[in-house]
């Protein structure tokens, strides 16, 4: 069991290193806190509404789900806007405010994509020499050795693409008072897509909220 577990972990690490696992490889963020708000009033408290805005449905699901999970790790309960306001119907602002009030929403976290692009990385060609090894055998008192060399090969010489997303993240109250804002960048591996990137940006945003004292 221990060997099997080790091999499983080793396989995941190897696949990640080769870019074959859809993961977020880098995140960066910058943020600003409203100085006019008292520190104790800025703390995010349950329940919170998270909103992915101007996103494709699958990207919105990834962003909102990751925000809810990351906030839950900090003991803050949050609702996805997709659950409170199903996109299968039209919602007026008055209806949305009524639902938010009914659920006791205290703060809203909104994520909006700023730019989405691909980061192209050229992998230069590298010659990998062949391996040389010797096999031998005895026949009576005579030892015969034969040397073999496997052919070398060229690795690389191609371009890989990695998705990069920049998101604006804002915390505001139901009465539209902005309390915190951030700009978050996330870059994925070559196997990642923008849903992966959105999830990574969400987790980075929550880390920034912790660093700024809102969590």
Q: Which domains does the chain have, with CATH numbers?
A: 23-118+162-211 (3.40.50)
pLDDT score, position 145: 81
Residue 134: C-alpha distances to residues 103, 130, 131, 145 (Å): 75, 13, 10, 7
Binning pLDDT at 50, 70 and 90, where does residue 147 land?
confident
This prediction has a pTM of 0.75
Over residues 48-66, the mean pLDDT reads 95
pLDDT score, position 85: 94
CA distance 78 to 93: 20
CB 123 within 8 A of CB 156: yes
Over residues 121-128, the mean pLDDT reads 85
Write out the two tokens for 185.
Answer: 């960048």
Considering only 39-43, 51-55, 183-187, which range has the smallest mean pLDDT?
Answer: 39-43
pLDDT score, position 38: 58
- Give residue-wise pLDDT tens across range 162-193: 899 999 999 988 888 888 999 999 998 888 88
- Is the pLDDT reported for residue 25 higher than 90? no
pLDDT score, position 39: 59
Give whichever of 17-26, 115-124, 143-152, 206-215 has the largest mean pLDDT: 206-215
Q: Where are any strands of DSSP class E within the chain?
A: 24-33, 48-52, 78-80, 107-123, 126-128, 132-139, 142-149, 153-155, 158-172, 178-188
- Is the pLDDT reported for residue 4 higher than 50? no
pLDDT score, position 37: 63
Tokens 């996330």 label which residue?
186
pLDDT score, position 122: 85
**204 against 191, higher pLDDT:** 204
pLDDT score, position 63: 96
Over residues 131-160, the mean pLDDT reads 82
């Amino acid at each position: 069991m221990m060997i099997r577990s080790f091999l499983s972990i080793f396989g995941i690490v190897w696949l990640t290193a080769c870019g074959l696992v859809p993961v977020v490889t880098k995140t960066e963020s910058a943020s600003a806190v409203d100085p006019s708000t008292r520190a104790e009033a800025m703390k995010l408290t349950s329940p919170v509404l998270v909103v992915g805005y101007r996103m494709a449905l699958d990207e919105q699901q990834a962003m909102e789900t990751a925000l809810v999970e990351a906030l839950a790790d900090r003991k803050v309960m949050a609702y996805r806007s997709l659950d409170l306001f199903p996109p299968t119907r039209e919602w007026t602002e008055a209806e949305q405010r009524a639902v938010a009030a009914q659920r006791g929403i205290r703060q809203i976290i909104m994520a909006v994509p700023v730019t989405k692009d691909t980061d192209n990385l050229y992998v230069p060609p590298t010659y990998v020499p062949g391996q040389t090894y010797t096999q031998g055998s005895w026949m009576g008192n005579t030892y015969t050795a034969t040397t073999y060399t496997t052919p070398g090969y060229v690795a690389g010489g191609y371009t890989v693409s990695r998705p990069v997303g920049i998101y604006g993240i804002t915390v505001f109250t139901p009465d539209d008072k902005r309390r915190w804002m951030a700009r978050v960048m996330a870059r994925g591996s070559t196997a990642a897509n923008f849903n992966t990137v959105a999830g990574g940006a969400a987790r980075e945003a929550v880390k920034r909220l912790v660093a700024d004292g809102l969590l």
